[in-house]
Amino acid sequence: MKSAPFSVVYEDNHLLVVNKAAGVLVQGDKTKDKTLTDYAKEYIASKYEKPGAVFLHPIHRLDRPVSGLVAFARTSKGLERMMELFRKRDIHKVYWAIVKRRPKEEQGKLTHWLTKDEVKNVVTTHEKEVAGSQKAELNYKVLGTLNDHWLIEVRPISGRPHQIRVQLASMGCPIRGDVKYGFPKANVDASINLHAFHLVFVHPIKKEKIFLRAALPENEFWEQFLEFEMVKAKDQHLDNTFSG
């Protein structure tokens, strides 16, 4: 049985945030495959019995093989203000990645300049700025190990295409299943073990702090790491309690 393309994590009049399944496109490409945006518009149209075109616009993207949180705007006001939050880096994102090689350091910051080959859809890291490059930064921390794999928490500072994938690969830790960036074997379902786990921002209309968490994908490999997820959920609950 094929899994659903998404589950709803947060919804109000201005925003829709979903947990995307790996393998689903956020927006259309040359494959012409049905997109997450298409599925989400169908959901809104059906739930609210909306005739005609539905206004729904993705505020950011995830690569096709990546799972986790994707935010949509349901109004032009919501879209404009959420885009501004992203521009100002006032949205805090946390990803989980599974790698086979242990990072040399338990935590650290990676800074690179990235260039993209649009034809091959491959990004290259550079230690120094080069022509046409964009600066990319992230912080990472090793959360633990299980069955010869390492779970890494990643907090991107910038938002560049393929950034987490290529920056982790650059330190010798390609993400499990990511053959494009050096992992030796593809996952059976063509996913990679990168999950947009956590999203924190101040609601642009309601002005209240929103803490969102996307459950890990329901497959055997990710389920091994459920213990880490439960600990993280407990920590998040405490954060919410004290921050209130």
pLDDT, the chain, mean: 91
Q: Which pLDDT score, from 0 to 100, does residue 243 have?
A: 39
Q: pLDDT band for position 52 (50/70/90)?
A: confident
Q: Which residue has the tokens 């599925």?
A: 39
Q: Which pLDDT score, from 0 to 100, does residue 233 have?
A: 62
| Residue numbers of the domain that contains 117 | 6-224
Residue 240 belongs to a domain: no
Q: What CATH number is associated with residue 112? A: 3.30.2350.10
Strand partners, 216: none
CA 142 to chain centre: 18
Q: How many CB atoms lie within 10 A of CB 149?
A: 18
**Is residue 189's pLDDT more than 60?**
yes
Residue 183 belongs to a domain: yes
Q: How many CB atoms lie within 10 A of CB 212?
A: 17
**Is residue 234's pLDDT more than 80?**
no
Residue 17: both structure tokens together: 């945030």
Residue 195 belongs to a domain: yes
The total domain count for the chain is 1
Residue 236 belongs to a domain: no
Digit-coded pLDDT (tens) for 214-224: 999 988 788 88
Q: Which pLDDT score, from 0 to 100, does residue 27 have?
A: 84
**Is residue 89's pLDDT more than 60?**
yes
Residue 235 belongs to a domain: no
Residue 202 belongs to a domain: yes
**Is residue 236's pLDDT more than 90?**
no
CA distance 109 to 154: 10
**Of the listed ranges 113-117, 182-186, 229-233, the one predicted with least confidence:** 229-233
Q: Which pLDDT score, from 0 to 100, does residue 242 have?
A: 35
**For range 71-100, the mean pLDDT:** 95
**Could you tell me which of 96, 97, 91 has the C-alpha nearest to residue 211?**
91
Q: Which pLDDT score, from 0 to 100, does residue 30 have?
A: 79
**Is residue 177's pLDDT more than 80?**
yes
Q: Which pLDDT score, from 0 to 100, does residue 146 have?
A: 84
DSSP for the chain, written as a single string: -PPPSEEEEEE-SSEEEEEEPTT-BSS--TT---BHHHHHHHHHHHHTT--S----EESS---TT-EEEEEEESSHHHHHHHHHHHHTT-SEEEEEEEESSPPSSSEEEEEEEEEEETTTTEEEEESS--TT-EEEEEEEEEEEEETTEEEEEEEESS--TTHHHHHHHHTT-PBTT-GGGT-SS--TTS--SEEEEEEEEE-TTT--EEEEEPPPPSSHHHHTTHHHHHHHHHHHHHHHHHH-
Residue 242 belongs to a domain: no
Q: pLDDT band for position 231 (50/70/90)?
A: low
Q: Which pLDDT score, from 0 to 100, does residue 165 have?
A: 98
209-213 and 92-99 strand pairing = unpaired
Residue 233 belongs to a domain: no
Digit-coded pLDDT (tens) for 117-148: 999 999 999 999 999 999 999 999 999 998 88
